[in-house]
């Protein structure tokens, strides 16, 4: 390790050992970003040179799905087009009460803005721990440290979550949201199955893509120099499917057509849905897992990302391109993988690095 890397590692370890996260820096009233949070000059220059896309990600109204067959056909087609062309879409009339979303956002704020000693109890980098708080899961692999703290609630098996494991500051709010968003995720998996011209329960029941769930409660504190920092670096999600609740601050961007960044503008009461790497794999590239990021601002931003990662618990499933989606003219493009294998590989790299999915192409 050279001297510069050695010095950087010391800085990272000192930051991590505080167990205060990025919010600790804000509380200390830092005016200038520590070096570890400043993006490389060439990356900043590339951003300035790249024009922003004015395209608007699709907004899909889920009203009437269960009562109107024609309406369902229209929605399935909208989901197919959005998933193929964007890999992202927003949903409205999704069935989760606005009060549940508002309570979750307030709960995440309350957890992060409470007494620091209460937060420290949950600080950990142990992947086996079901409930943990930390800043940057890829802290020691990242090129630039993201301006974000996270509370992660992991449900890798069907075992019920013990409420006492959750922080009291957001316990009821998290459990209420988890119950609602799990049900919504099942509906969206059925729509995606139909969009792929499969039986409605194929992804959900046959392939169990809706298992191994986790909730990432993210807190992006106000940033003193947002033009130099990144809220969360550009990446794709390792999951099958992600559903994101966000406040009205903004900052989420999608790399549209691998060219320009498009804003995912917050819509009151709406949820953001995006295709993950594993769904791109099993759909044999029919559906797209797309690069996205979050820009920081001088306002605090709160969001909650709910991930469906597929079956991890024994008996594990080997996930590969769905047979019905391959043919002699369109052969399988990926080898089969276990979710545990993919997640392990995902954790060993920095988020900024090339997506893991490419390593499994045939």
Q: What is the pTM of this model?
A: 0.94
Residue 1 has pLDDT above 60, yes or no: no
The pLDDT tens digits for 189-245 are 999 999 999 999 999 999 999 999 999 999 999 999 999 999 999 999 999 999 999
Burial class for 314, CB neighbours closer than 10 Å (0-12, 13-18, 19+): exposed
Residue 256 has pLDDT above 60, yes or no: yes
Q: What is the CATH number of the domain that holds 309?
A: 2.60.120.330
Per-residue pLDDT band at 2 (split at 50, 70, 90): low
The pLDDT score that the predictor gives to residue 261 is: 95
The pLDDT tens digits for 304-360 are 999 999 988 888 899 999 999 999 999 999 999 999 888 888 777 656 556 788 889
Q: What's the number of domains the chain is made of?
A: 1
The pLDDT tens digits for 26-63 are 999 999 999 999 999 999 999 988 888 899 999 999 99
Burial class for 260, CB neighbours closer than 10 Å (0-12, 13-18, 19+): middle
R_g (Cα) of the chain, nearest Å: 20
Determine the structural domain holding residue 342 and report its residue range: 3-360
Report the candidate in 317, 316, 292, 296 with the shortest Cα–Cα distance to residue 305.
292
The pLDDT score that the predictor gives to residue 6 is: 81
High-pLDDT (> 90) share of the chain, %: 80
């Amino acid at each position: 390790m050279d001297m510069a890397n050695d010095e950087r590692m010391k800085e990272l370890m000192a930051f991590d050992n505080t167990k205060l996260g990025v919010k600790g820096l804000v509380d200390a009233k830092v005016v200038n970003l520590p070096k570890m949070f400043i993006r490389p000059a060439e990356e900043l220059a590339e951003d300035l040179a790249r024009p922003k896309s004015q395209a608007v990600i699709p907004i899909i109204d889920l009203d009437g799905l269960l009562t109107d067959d024609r309406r369902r056909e229209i929605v399935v087609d909208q989901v197919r087009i959005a998933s193929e062309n964007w890999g992202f879409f927003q949903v409205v009339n999704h069935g989760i009460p606005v009060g549940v979303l508002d309570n979750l956002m307030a709960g995440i704020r309350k957890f992060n803005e409470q007494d620091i000693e209460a937060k420290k109890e949950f600080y950990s980098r142990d992947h086996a721990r079901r409930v943990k708080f930390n800043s940057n899961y890829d802290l020691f692999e990242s090129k630039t440290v993201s301006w974000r703290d996270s509370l992660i609630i992991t449900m890798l098996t069907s075992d019920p979550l013990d409420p006492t494991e959750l922080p009291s500051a957001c316990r009821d709010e998290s459990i209420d949201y988890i119950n609602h968003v799990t049900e919504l995720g099942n509906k969206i998996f059925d729509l995606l199955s139909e969009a792929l011209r499969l039986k409605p329960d194929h992804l959900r029941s046959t392939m169990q893509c809706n298992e191994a769930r986790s909730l990432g409660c993210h807190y992006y504190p106000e940033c003193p120099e947002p033009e130099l920092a990144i809220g969360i670096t550009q990446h794709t999600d390792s999951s099958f499917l992600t559903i994101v609740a966000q406040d009205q601050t903004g900052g989420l961007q999608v790399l549209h057509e691998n060219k320009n960044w498009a804003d995912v503008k917050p819509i009151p009461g709406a949820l953001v849905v995006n295709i993950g790497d594993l769904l791109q794999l099993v759909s044999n590239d029919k559906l797209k897992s797309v690069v996205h990021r979050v820009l920081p601002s001088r306002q605090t931003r709160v969001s909650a990302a709910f991930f469906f990662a597929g079956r991890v618990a024994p008996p594990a499933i080997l996930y590969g391109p769905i047979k019905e989606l391959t043919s002699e003219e369109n052969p399988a493009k990926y080898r089969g993988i276990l979710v545990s294998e993919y997640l392990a590989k995902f954790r060993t790299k920095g988020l900024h690095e090339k997506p893991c999915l490419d390593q499994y192409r045939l």
